[in-house]
Chains A and B, each alone.
Chain A
């Protein structure tokens, strides 16, 4: 699986847009980029997945440049409840699909302040 690198921590304020960038220089052609969110003492929760360009859902947007060596998770107008750890995962569609386990790297601890 391609290795990912994310900032260890970030902080922001309520109402701001937060962008978390993930580097994955060795991403393979078949790999997708997936983000999970985890609150303390809770299981991770799927946020968004993409392959290239831009994907948007009701929670976040995912921007992927043409070379796909990085991706940016964008959280619009964050609130205190967005304080969590955010994980970037890279793998092919069978990762987490064909009953393959997910490989969590070091996530980004996002702290939102009032």
Chain B
């Protein structure tokens, strides 16, 4: 079965640089979520999109922005990178099922290292 695709899988950047992470949801999933997981930490929700509109917002820094495109893929843009941004970034997707629990399907993650 198709899964969530994230690219790149690994990324190394220097402080103050920018980075763009991409997420391709499971086909027919219209909702995308972004999470950040620092070393030894639990996943922290950043932001979500439904039908290309921002739906929910978590602890996303102002230096980060994201969007969802017409083909439902999403990009997380990170600027002025800091050492503390080094983390695993997960994207998840879910279908919108009225009255049902929408299980979130997570991708393999992008490991970002800021030097």
Residues of A with Cβ closer than 8 Å to B? 32, 34, 38, 41-46, 49, 87, 93, 96-107
Q: Identify which of residues 87-103 in chain B touch chain A, using a CB-to-CB cut-off of 8 Å.
A: 88, 90, 92, 94, 96-97, 99-103
Whether the pair B45, A101 counts as a contact (CB closer than 8 A) is yes
Chain B, residue nearest A32 (CB): B101
Encode contact with A along B73-115: 1 for CB under 8 Å, 0 otherwise: 0000000000000001010101011011111111111010000
Whether the pair A96, B42 counts as a contact (CB closer than 8 A) is no
Chain B, residue nearest A91 (CB): B101
- Given A99-B33, A106-B42, A107-B42, CB of A43 within 8 Å of CB of B90: yes
Chain A, residue nearest B47 (CB): A101
User: Which of A42, A44, A107: most chain B Cβ within 10 A?
Assistant: A44
Chain A, residue nearest B55 (CB): A99
Partner of A101, one of B33, B101, B105: B33
The A/B interface has a contact count, at CB < 8 Å, of 76
| Interfacial chain A residues near B44, Cβ < 8 Å | 104
Dominant SS among interface residues on chain B:
strand
Report the separation of the CA atoms of residues A98 and B35 in the bound assembly, to the nearest whole angstrom.
16
Partner of B101, one of A49, A103, A104, A105: A49
User: Which of B35, B44, B102: most chain A Cβ within 10 A?
Assistant: B102
Q: How far is the CB of B115 from chain A (nearest CB, A)?
A: 20
- Given A44-B106, A45-B106, CB of A96 within 8 Å of CB of B101: yes
| Interfacial chain A residues near B56, Cβ < 8 Å | 99-101
Whether the pair A96, B108 counts as a contact (CB closer than 8 A) is no
Residue B43 lies at the interface, judged by CB distance under 8 Å to chain A: yes
Report the separation of the CA atoms of residues A102 and B37 in the bound assembly, to the nearest whole angstrom.
13
| Interfacial chain B residues near A104, Cβ < 8 Å | 42-45
| Interfacial chain A residues near B107, Cβ < 8 Å | 43
| Interfacial chain B residues near A103, Cβ < 8 Å | 45
Whether the pair A43, B102 counts as a contact (CB closer than 8 A) is no
